[in-house]
Amino acid sequence: MRQSKTFIPTLKEAPNDAVVPSHILMLRAGLVRMLSAGVYSFLPMGYKVIKKITEVIREEMDAIGGQEFHLPALNPIEIWEETDRVKAFGDTMFHLKNRDYVLAPTHEEIMTYHARRVLQSYKELPQVWYQIQTKFRNEARPRSGVIRGRQFLMKDSYSFDASWEDLDKSYDSHAAAYRRIFERCGLKFFVVGASSGAMGGTGSEEFMVRSAAGEDTVAHCESCGYAANSEVATSVIQALARDSESKDIFEISTPNIKSIDELSAFLSINESQCAKSRVYIVNGKEPVLVLMCGNDEVNETKLEKIFSEVRPAHPEELQNLTGAEAGSIGPLGFKGRILADLRLKDRNNLYSGANKNEYHIGGIDMVRDVPSAELVDLRIVQPGEGCPNCGANIDVFPAIELGHIFKLGTRYSEAMGARFLDVNGKDHPLIMGSYGIGLERVMACFVEQNHDDFGIIWNKELAPMQVHLIGLNMKKQEIADECERLYSELTTLGLQVLFDDRKDAQPGFKMKDADLLGIPIQIIVGERKIKEGLLEFKLRTDSVKLDVALTDVVGKVKEFYSV
Tell me which residues touch RNA (CB under 7 A).
10-17, 19-20, 28, 34, 36-38, 88-89, 92, 105-106, 137, 139-144, 148, 196-199, 215-216, 300, 404, 454, 472-473, 475, 503-509, 511-516, 524, 526-530, 536, 538, 545
Calculate the CA 560 to chain-centre distance.
33
**Minimum CB distance to RNA smaller for 296 or for 515:** 515
Minimum CB distance to RNA, residue 511 (Å): 4
**Minimum CB distance to RNA smaller for 248 or for 504:** 504
Minimum CB distance to RNA, residue 17 (Å): 4
Q: Helices 164-184 & 44-63, crossing angle to 10 degrees?
A: 140
Which neighbouring-strand residues pair with 151? 136
Minimum CB distance to RNA, residue 428 (Å): 24
In whole angstroms, give the CA distance from residue 233 to residue 31.
37
189, 402 contact by CB (below 8 A): yes
Minimum CB distance to RNA, residue 37 (Å): 3
In whole angstroms, give the CA distance from residue 473 to residue 530.
11
**Minimum CB distance to RNA smaller for 74 or for 236:** 74
Minimum CB distance to RNA, residue 266 (Å): 27
DSSP E strands in 315-423: the ranges are: 337-341, 350-353, 359-364, 374-376, 395-409, 419-421
534, 549 contact by CB (below 8 A): yes
Which backbone phi and psi does 346 adopt, to 5 degrees? 60, 10
Minimum CB distance to RNA, residue 270 (Å): 26
Calculate the CA 209 to chain-centre distance.
7
**Minimum CB distance to RNA smaller for 11 or for 118:** 11
Minimum CB distance to RNA, residue 10 (Å): 5
Nearest CA to 124 among 546, 350, 423?
423
In whole angstroms, give the CA distance from residue 281 to residue 177.
42
Strand 395-409 versus strand 203-210 pairing type: antiparallel
**Minimum CB distance to RNA smaller for 23 or for 360:** 23
**Minimum CB distance to RNA smaller for 269 or for 415:** 415
Minimum CB distance to RNA, residue 367 (Å): 33
**Minimum CB distance to RNA smaller for 363 or for 398:** 398
In whole angstroms, give the CA distance from residue 65 to residue 560.
31
**Minimum CB distance to RNA smaller for 133 or for 357:** 133
Would you give the DSSP letter of residue 260?
Answer: H
Which neighbouring-strand residues pair with 67? 129
563, 497 contact by CB (below 8 A): no
